[in-house]
Amino acid sequence: MTEELVTLETAKLLKEKGFNEYCKYIINDKGLMMETIFRTSKDLPKLFYSCPIQSIAQKWLRETKSLHIEISYMYGNYWIYDILTIPNHDLVGLSDRPITHYNTYEEALEAGLQEALKLI
């Protein structure tokens, strides 16, 4: 079992929104993933992005942007996500978001990460 890294699209959004944490992996604009000597986003060349594991990106959103991504398993064998504010527990989200059923927890989390980043 391994931790899932964020996708290139999510990595780009993270950098755009100020994510500057040390990461073991980076990804370039062409989608090539590389291991690095734990550099932050600001130390990377222009077309490179920090590529954290999903749970680190989720924690960063909670601690720096006060947004919690909640993943739920639903009867019918699918997953969904909601985005909640901290500490008020208000449900937030993009008004045009389609209702999507995800096959895995990680797919739902990735979609939630991207939407939360777009809300910032």
Give the amino acid at 34. M
pLDDT of residue 57: 98
pLDDT of residue 109: 98
Q: What is the DSSP letter of 85?
A: E
Task: Report the distance separating Cα 113 and Cα 100, nearest Å.
Answer: 14
CB 107 within 8 Å of CB 99: no
Rounded mean pLDDT, 33-59:
87
Q: 59-113 pLDDT, tens per residue? A: 999 999 999 999 999 999 999 999 999 998 887 877 777 889 999 999 999 999 9
Strand partners, 26: 34, 50
Residue 37 predicted with pLDDT over 80? no
